[in-house]
Homo-oligomer: A and B are copies of this chain.
Amino acid sequence: MTVASPRLVLRGRDITAEAISAAVIVLLVVVAATTSDTFLTPVNLTNLLKQMVTTGLLAFGMLVVILTGGIDLSVGSVVAFSGILAAGLSAGLPIPVAMVVGVAAGIAFGLVNGTLVARFGLAPFVVTLASLTTIRGLAFVYSEVPVTPSDPAFLSLGSAMLGPIPLITVIMAVVFAAGGVFLSRTPAGRSIIAIGGNAETVRLAGINVRKHVILAYAISGACAGLAGVVLASRVGIAQPSVGVAFELDAIAACVIGGASLAGGRGSVRATFGGVLVLVLINNLLNLYGVQSFWQQVLKGLIIIVVILVRRK
């Protein structure tokens, strides 16, 4: 409905989305640094690094699903389930094992979502809306009350620092780096992107479309499971009610980063940019002491402005 505007191309790659995201982020950072004494303090920067982790992990998984032309609304519920499962199991199992089982639960939910979408051809929106409801229920069925792991070692994942960088931020960065390579350099990653563009063409090219779609949801489930475990470890308490509406920020990050919800289009780097934009907006509004509901008003408006600016 709009006319194509000039694109920025670097070595044959269209980097308009990345460039605009980068510009928006630089702008936000400059505004923040010059108008707030607190912004550049080590404490605040560490906060930023920690606060981007959950949205970041979810956004990467969401991007993979969005690339196939799907969507995963269930991630917030998976965060709750995986977190409370890992916390609960840590009473009887070694902590790393409990955490891996938490992530594995996320993968399992992803496989179910993916199978319903790919094998039975159901609409991703409703499948994951239904599983959002079911998985949330299961989290409460597992434990109605928050679970506090008795072993304080459960907290170390969430609080360890690698030099000035929180370990969980490093984990997220690794996910993004590996994810970038996966999508741009592996046959599976390329197939996932192509499927979002035209699944039939991909099928006729001899690529197993179902398998790749299921893989995409499993990746999203894995990211959500990891985010749940990380969050539980960070807070030190796993709550069945955590994660409501987390999917919205994850989707917003992808779209701010220029991903198309129709599939086939989206960049790992720009999605990370989208995560930064959201985290910066929240941080700024807090630093300025903007009242909670005015924060909501402004957050929505800022998102509109950002996507207006980076609009193709």
**A46 touches B (CB below 8 Å):** no
Interface stretch, picked from A29-37, A53-61, A249-257, is A249-257
Give the shortest distance, in Å, between A149 (CB) and chain B (any CB).
22
Contact bitstring A51-94, B, C-beta under 8 A = 1, else 0: 00000000000000000000001000000000000000000000
Residues 271 to 294 of chain A near chain B (Cβ within 8 Å): 292-294
Number of copies: 2
Interface stretch, picked from A133-141, A157-165, A166-174, A225-233, is A133-141
Inter-chain CA distance A126–B257, complex, in Å, is: 11
Inter-chain CA distance A63–B156, complex, in Å, is: 48
Give the shortest distance, in Å, between A66 (CB) and chain B (any CB).
10
Q: What is the chain B residue whose CB lies nearest that of A1?
A: B121
| A303 x B210 contact (CB < 8 A) | no
| A209 x B123 contact (CB < 8 A) | no
**A144 touches B (CB below 8 Å):** yes
A interface residues, tally (CB under 8 Å): 53
| B255 x A134 contact (CB < 8 A) | no
Inter-chain CA distance A138–B301, complex, in Å, is: 12
| A126 x B252 contact (CB < 8 A) | yes
Inter-chain CA distance A297–B240, complex, in Å, is: 13
**A122 touches B (CB below 8 Å):** yes
| B307 x A132 contact (CB < 8 A) | no
- Once A2-B121, A120-B308, A123-B255 are accepted as A-B contacts, the answer to whether A296 and B140 lie under 8 Å apart by CB is yes
Contact bitstring A196-217, B, C-beta under 8 A = 1, else 0: 0001000000000110000000
Give the shortest distance, in Å, between A254 (CB) and chain B (any CB).
9
A141 is contacted by which of B132, B252, B294, B301 (Cβ under 8 Å)? B294
**A16 touches B (CB below 8 Å):** no
Inter-chain CA distance A137–B299, complex, in Å, is: 9
**A190 touches B (CB below 8 Å):** no
Contact bitstring A109-152, B, C-beta under 8 A = 1, else 0: 00000001010111101110111111111111100100000000
- Once A141-B297, A297-B138 are accepted as A-B contacts, the answer to whether A304 and B1 lie under 8 Å apart by CB is no
- Once A140-B296, A297-B138 are accepted as A-B contacts, the answer to whether A209 and B126 lie under 8 Å apart by CB is no
| A129 x B199 contact (CB < 8 A) | no
Contacts of A255 in B (CB 8 A): 123, 125-126
**A38 touches B (CB below 8 Å):** no
Q: What is the chain B residue whose CB lies nearest that of A200?
A: B1
**A261 touches B (CB below 8 Å):** yes
| A120 x B251 contact (CB < 8 A) | no
| B308 x A133 contact (CB < 8 A) | no
Additional pairs, 6, CB under 8 Å, beyond known A126-B256, A133-B299, A137-B295: A1-B199, A130-B301, A133-B296, A134-B298, A137-B294, A137-B298
A sample of 6 inter-chain contacts (CB < 8 A) reads A116-B304, A122-B308, A123-B261, A125-B251, A129-B252, A133-B299
By Cβ-Cβ distance, the 7 closest A-B pairs, closest first, are: A134-B300, A137-B296, A140-B293, A137-B297, A2-B121, A133-B300, A130-B303
